[in-house]
Amino acid sequence: MKAGRILSVLGIASTLILGCTITTAAAEPAYPAPDPDPFYAAPANIADYEPGDVLAVRAMPPLPLFPATTFTLVKFRSTNSQGGPIAATTTVLTPQEHRPGGPLLSYQHIINGLGAECAVSRVLFTADPNLAVREAPVLNVALRRGWSVALPDHLGPQFAYGAARLGGQITLDGVRAAQRVGELGLAQSPVVMAGYSGGGMATAWAAALAPTYAPELALAGAAYGGVPMNLLTMVRALGTSSHPAFGLAMAAAIGLEREYPDRLPLSTQLNSRGLALRDAMANGCTNEIMALGAGKSAPELAASMSLLESPDAWSVVEANSLQLYGGVPEIPVFEWHSPTDPLIPVDAIIDTNRRYCAAGARLQMDQNISPEHLSAAVLGMPAALAWVDARFRGEPAPSNCHSV
């Protein structure tokens, strides 16, 4: 955690200990700090644009981590959870091997974050080792095959961590936008989407939403792993008792409040300790969120537990739980996970896979030998990459639905 943020947390805690009152502003959602770069801002006339329309394009500097590759930041119009227009961004990596109409991989990077510096478009160009692109080796394999790679900032302008349906919409609009930037040579490209964990959530939602949200996109498939498909179950597991990963549950609650402030008013329910933790996390990325929340629980941070009885609040969590969404992907799916993952509800994954198979989806499920969440990503990636490669080559998609 940065020293400045440690001092900030201590300052908040000291104020509370000395008995100062919480101002009424504390009951408002803790939105991220304003982005200092005007490129990310939505234009005043954003409502005049359609989802996926390009708003601005910026050439970015080369990176030694990705040799022989150019970077283009694309701002586009997308849609928030209430159906309103928002500005979102994706970074398109174009290898020197690219040819017009060559494959496009939309890779939804894991973004466990609540502030601007956690966005992939920022992480690519930061020197902070805590914010490195861990999947760089895999992405370089894709680039050397001549694939372009799009990395969307799928949490949106409010960094609404936990708003998984929003992530799916931004992912689809990011593909639309990348294909509309003529100089990228992607207008006729086959597209596969991929991601793991939080990035897998955005990918899985994009696959399920595509038939209704972006039916015109010619998608060749979606590969996702370690997906939290039922946030209801996950919140109950992480939030009601002390847990080392409680920070993720708290961050998801903060993010969902930003996206649904009227239906999930988290801040009105927190005590002084809860508000201090919320404010400390408000712009944090993975390491800070995990460190600040480790070992905590909802009861110790709540002034009231009435939100747990609110139908509106639970409806927000349900609306972002893929297991409970009736839509089914019409594209081939590769899904992988650890069968003993302690962080996410595996039963929800199996149930969703079975529903997809029953509806006629072509799904290949891969349960690997990893006992937990992070190593499952590494162990499953080679098979996922081979599956993506086969989709780009136009091979018939396999299915093991009979064994799911």
d(CA 50, CA 48): 7
**The pLDDT of residue 7:** 32
**The pLDDT of residue 18:** 29
**In a domain? residue 294:** yes
Contacts of 36 (CB under 8 A, 6+ apart): 116
d(CA 327, CA 205): 9
Q: What is the CATH number of the domain that holds 264?
A: 1.10.260
The dihedral of CA 78, 84, 87, 89: what is its sign?
negative
Q: Which residue has the tokens 């629980």?
A: 297
pLDDT tens per residue, range 116-137:
999 999 999 998 888 888 899 9
44: its two tokens: 């005043």
Q: CA distances (Å), 229 to each of 117, 159, 280, 305, in order? A: 26, 20, 28, 24
**In a domain? residue 19:** yes
CB 85 within 8 A of CB 261: no
Three-state secondary structure call for residue 48: helix
129: its two tokens: 């080792």
CB 123 within 8 A of CB 155: no
* Other CB atoms within 10 A of residue 371 CB: 12
**In a domain? residue 69:** no
DSSP for 230-259, written as a single string: -HHHHHHHHHSS--TTHHHHHHHHHHHHHH
**The pLDDT of residue 14:** 30
94 forms beta bridges with 70
d(CA 132, CA 224): 21
CA angle 36, 40, 44 (to 5 degrees): 105
Residues in the chain: 404
Instruction: Specify the amino acid at residue 125.
Output: F
CA 156 to mean position of chain CA atoms: 9
d(CA 277, CA 289): 9
**In a domain? residue 307:** yes
> How many domains does the structure of the chain reveal?
1
The dihedral of CA 337, 338, 340, 342: what is its sign?
negative
309: its two tokens: 């009885």
Q: Which residue has the tokens 């690219």?
A: 98
Residues in the chain predicted with pLDDT less than 50, given as ranges, are 1-24
Contacts of 220 (CB under 8 A, 6+ apart): 190, 191, 192, 331, 332, 391, 392
CA 321 to mean position of chain CA atoms: 13
CA 281 to mean position of chain CA atoms: 17
Q: Are strands 69-79 and 85-95 parallel, antiparallel or unpaired?
A: antiparallel
**The pLDDT of residue 25:** 54
**The pLDDT of residue 283:** 97
**The pLDDT of residue 237:** 67
**In a domain? residue 159:** no
DSSP for 263-285, written as a single string: T--GGGGB-HHHHHHHHHHTT--
**In a domain? residue 14:** yes
Q: Residue 22 class from Cβ within 10 Å (0-12 exposed, 13-18 middle, 19+ buried)?
A: middle
d(CA 355, CA 339): 18
> What are the b/e assignments for 38-52, b being 16+ CB within 10 Å?
eebebeeebeebebb
Tell me which residue range forms the domain holding 19.
Answer: 3-30+231-318
**In a domain? residue 269:** yes
